[in-house]
């Protein structure tokens, strides 16, 4: 026999929750700070403000503002600093969490394609 009403309702609720969660994640991915975190997570080495700016599509001034905010809360740290060059990287703790976020996001995208 088919699924019971309770199982169908539970499945529908789970599907609706996953859709809501994916919309929420998509919204947060548009956030400038999240864009910077995701970009830095993809790199093996620290990055300059100019390179970050170019790759996330933000002005130099805005990247500096968001990097300072991320640095103040401990998600990003200065890896190298001289008078005309500052390189940023994710802090080790935030790197692990950001990579886990990317992994979950990829898994959800793959399973959504399979289910649909």
Specify whether 26 is located in the same domain as 38. Answer: no
Specify whether 53 is located in the same domain as 90. Answer: yes
> How many domains, the chain?
2
Specify whether 24 is located in the same domain as 46. Answer: no
Specify whether 58 is located in the same domain as 96. Answer: yes
Specify whether 51 is located in the same domain as 71. Answer: yes
Q: How far is CA 98 from each of CA 27, 75, 101, 114, 115, rounded to the nearest angstrom?
A: 16, 10, 5, 25, 26
- Kindly give the confidence (pLDDT) of every residue in the chain, 116 residues in length, as a single tens digit, with 9 standing for 90 and above: 456 776 776 677 777 777 776 776 676 667 898 889 888 988 889 999 999 999 999 999 999 999 999 999 888 999 999 999 999 999 887 777 776 776 676 666 656 654 44
2: containing domain: 1-30
Q: How far apart are CA 36 and CA 65, in angstroms?
A: 11
- Residues 75, 34: contact at Cβ < 8 Å? no
Indicate the helix (H) or strand (E) that contains 81.
Answer: strand 76-82
Specify whether 24 is located in the same domain as 40. Answer: no
- Residues 65, 53: contact at Cβ < 8 Å? no
């Amino acid at each position: 026999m088919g699924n019971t009403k309770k199982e169908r309702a539970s499945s529908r609720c789970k599907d609706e929750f996953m859709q809501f969660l994916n919309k929420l994640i998509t919204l947060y991915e548009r956030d400038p700070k999240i864009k910077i975190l995701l970009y830095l997570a993809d790199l093996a080495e620290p990055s300059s403000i100019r390179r970050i700016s170019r790759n996330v599509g933000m002005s130099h001034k805005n990247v500096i503002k968001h990097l300072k905010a991320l640095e103040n809360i401990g998600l990003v740290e200065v890896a190298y600093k001289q008078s005309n060059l500052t390189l940023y990287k994710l802090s080790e703790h935030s790197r692990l969490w950001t990579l886990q976020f990317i992994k979950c996001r990829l898994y959800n995208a793959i399973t959504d394609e399979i289910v649909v």
